[in-house]
A and B are shown apart, each in its own frame.
Chain A
């Protein structure tokens, strides 16, 4: 008597959210263009690099016109939007490549990093959270909780530098950065795996405290609820009590957390990819931002916004599935 998934309700919710995403995305791109235009960063200077320091003003003005950044930003935004809707994302000034190529080359590596880090955070956070929640105030709980609060306060880039210093410089055990060994120009799975360890661990561990603290709280509270007390009173084994009763309700908050951590994961990836020279999309975002590279910045912001909206949708869907009382009306 396994229950069928409520596909229709889930599809309706997805459809509603997709419609709501359109104005959000429009607003976000508009804001990106406005903020980039207001920032002191000059796309022409960024494009010219050191050559700009000896270029004549005429040369620089010509560049400004060629790059199309001499026009007011609403016009640039409208141009970008109409072209993007026709599938042309424009050319990135700072990368000197079509934006679509930049995204295609880098998205996979970012997804790999973020997915691995997320798995690390969820697995470690849930595991430790359950153990700590079972015996609140115990040695493990106190040790891990205080560590979690410290990690919560530690910025990801600082953790990254610390990890590079310890594992790469002091121990020499893991590579300090990049995707493959320096001397290698082929990308092999083995090399990527060793190069992935540090960035994924750092990014995962920076997300870990939230999962750990939520699970710890959830499991701990659930263990004090009436159904659990009843189960214990009926003489059920501790194992059955934990897996059958406490975890079911104790892990629910984690589901919402999965979605709501996506923005944090993206900002964390910005810093981690930069520290570890990971050739992903987040590192490109930083470069696009400081260079006021409008087309690239807009495309990447749309991607990030879409990821956040998708994360929210995902967590709501999961929550609806896990707790039928919530439903799919949101």
Chain B
């Protein structure tokens, strides 16, 4: 044959190709299980922006409740009031506030059929407290000294110090000891294939793509009417909006400008969730300019919060004067700051900050200037930072905005200002203690401004150590009033979260609802926080009821 060389080449490449095909075919097995067929109405596809890092409660998943797969001892209702979940009733608290006793709900089983008992509760909390467990939220249980089961259905928590909001922490998801206790807590298969008592069972998790759930037919609160739930992870806002419009998604979280595009769509409803999600500027105590009380007070009133809400948030938010939002019952009335540029200039003049030749004020040779860092790539923070710098400029304070990643920003936090965000609803202690307590200055990302005020320190301790609501309110009023006189941060806005949902579902009490949401809104926030209580609209009678999860 003439073409001796061409043949072997062809043969060899064919063999390689066949090998590659066989390899891929073998590897393409389906990791998830098959779910029952679902009509369009009992199946919901939700678009979210971020997925959880893990699905193990022992590693921090479901610590704020609404985990779908698991339940806590308690849960929060639509009005953010605690109600029993795996506990049969709210806990009884000893007079010294150090002992919390929970009676457990009887007859609850995990999705593998094994019963839920006090052992599982003790296992969950003890494992989280174990330093060998890689749980980054362990600090939230700092007050917890010990937990033990005194009977099959009774669990007693003993605290190291009186901590009034402790019951709020027990919305934390409970893991089964008989599954999670038999494997490596940090890397075992339980972290990706969870077993819980919750309304849904995980059927698949394709990281970066989606999580799929199936209704738990044996759920103690009644089998959910929505039989199939998919959480599609779509990072890009525009793509999420387009997929919602195309019908690929039934519901999605969207920024205000994109949500506005659905305002005239009769088949869809927009839900606005109020939040504790604040944006603030840290004014570091160790910066010669930002640490000066006069500069802090001047900036606090020089900044035009309402314009930020109108222009940056397109109206979806409200001015913030502290971590506690103005619509919270814990907000101290009368601590709202008026936008008062003349007043700001007067404060600076009186404190000796005199305008220099370039318009920037100077005192004792120190220019009223400092840098302000924001997380690069975060448009919202960038816009806030630029608006803040421009407002400060009008009062004669020069703020240079700079973008950086946390790796760049963190070492500078002691002296440079940062545009920070955060917010945990539930209790006024959660945010204020971490942001303002002087002993937490520079502790990780807590108290980034190294804020140090004796009155505030004392009030923060009073607020967490007493259970008396009136005394607590007085303590947190003191904190907020002191923040007017000595603001270590300039709080700018609280940001609303907007959700657009196909108008095909309702709950027993009417429409869908939202809770007051935290900064970090994973899959537990949004109108689907109680998706186990959703029913198709105009459903015929006899649909499964969703008992214990009705909205309050």
| Chain A residues packing against B (C-beta within 8 Å) | 1-3, 5, 40-42, 45, 47-60, 62-63, 66-67, 91-92, 94-98, 104-105, 107-109, 111-112, 115, 119, 164, 168-169, 172, 176-179, 181-183, 185-187, 192, 248, 255, 277, 279, 283, 287, 314, 317-318, 321-324
Contacts and interface: CB of A to CB of B under 8 A. Distances in A.
Contact of B206 (A42, A57, A172, A179): A179
Contact of A192 (B13, B28, B192): B28
B163 to A, nearest CB: 15
Interface in B203-241: 203-204, 206-210, 212, 228, 230, 232-233, 239
19 contacts: A56-B139, A60-B136, A96-B59, A98-B187, A108-B24, A108-B28, A111-B24, A111-B27, A183-B230, A185-B230, A186-B32, A187-B30, A187-B32, A248-B5, A248-B6, A317-B12, A318-B12, A322-B6, A322-B9
Contacts of A56: 139, 142, 440, 443-444, 446
Interface string B53-77: 1101001100000000000000000
Contacts of A192: 28
Interface stretch (B113-121, B305-313, B348-356, B405-413): B405-413
Interface on chain A toward B: helix, strand, loop, or mixed SS? helix
Contacts of A62: 131, 138
A2 B405 CA distance: 64
Contact of B8 (A42, A55, A321): A321
A108 B186 contact: no
Given A96-B53, A182-B232, A322-B9, A109 B136 contact: no
Nearest to B431: A54
Contact of B21 (A53, A96, A115, A255): A115
B366 interface: no
Size range of the interface on B? 35 or more
B203 A66 contact: no
A186 B209 CA distance: 14
For the complex of A and B, list the 7 residue pairs with the smallest distance between their C-beta atoms, beginning with the closest: A108-B27, A48-B136, A40-B407, A185-B212, A51-B136, A187-B30, A91-B187
A11 to B, nearest CB: 14
Contact of B136 (A1, A49, A91, A104): A49
Given A57-B444, A98-B187, A179-B209, A52 B136 contact: yes
B20 A115 contact: yes
Contacts of B24: 108, 111-112, 115
Contacts of A109: 27-28
Contact of B5 (A105, A177, A323): A323
Contacts of B132: 66
Interface string B429-459: 0000010000010111110000000000000
Contacts, number: 188
A1 B1 contact: yes
A51 B60 contact: yes
A254 B54 CA distance: 45
Contact of B4 (A2, A59, A111, A183): A2
Contact of A59 (B139, B212, B405): B139
B445 A53 contact: yes
Contacts of B89: none
B206 A178 contact: yes
B7 A2 contact: yes
Contact of B27 (A48, A57, A107): A107
Contacts of A172: 246
Nearest to A323: B5
Contact of B242 (A59, A60, A169): A169
A117 B397 CA distance: 56
Nearest to A185: B212
Given A42-B407, A45-B406, A51-B520, 8 more contacts: A45-B407, A48-B136, A49-B136, A57-B443, A58-B139, A176-B243, A185-B228, A248-B3
Interface in B17-69: 17, 20-21, 23-24, 26-35, 43, 45, 53-54, 56, 59-60
- Report which residue of A5, A40, A109 has the largest number of chain B beta carbons within 10 angstroms of its beta carbon: A40
A96 B193 CA distance: 12
A164 B407 contact: no
A5 B6 CA distance: 12
Interface of B: 1, 3-9, 11-13, 16-17, 20-21, 23-24, 26-35, 43, 45, 53-54, 56, 59-60, 131-132, 134, 136-140, 142, 184, 186-187, 191-192, 203-204, 206-210, 212, 228, 230, 232-233, 239, 242-243, 246, 248-249, 405-408, 422, 424, 434, 440, 442-446, 519-520
Nearest to B246: A172
Given A187-B32, A322-B9, A91 B186 contact: yes
B43 A40 contact: no
Contacts of B405: 40
Contact of A54 (B27, B139, B243): B139
Nearest to B6: A248
Given A108-B27, A115-B24, A95 B139 contact: no
B268 to A, nearest CB: 17
Contacts of B9: 255, 318, 321-322
Contacts of A248: 3, 5-6
Contacts of B445: 52-55
Given A67-B134, A96-B54, A321 B206 contact: no
A108 B26 contact: yes
Nearest to A170: B242
Contacts of A48: 136
A104 B443 CA distance: 39
A92 B54 CA distance: 12
A1 B243 CA distance: 61
Nearest to A63: B134
Nearest to A248: B6
A185 B11 CA distance: 39
Contacts of B54: 96
A54 B187 contact: no
Nearest to B208: A277
A185 B32 contact: yes
Nearest to B140: A54
A291 to B, nearest CB: 10
A186 B33 CA distance: 7
- Report which residue of A59, A62, A115, A318 has the largest number of chain B beta carbons within 10 angstroms of its beta carbon: A59
Contacts of A115: 17, 20-21, 24
A178 B210 contact: yes
A34 to B, nearest CB: 17
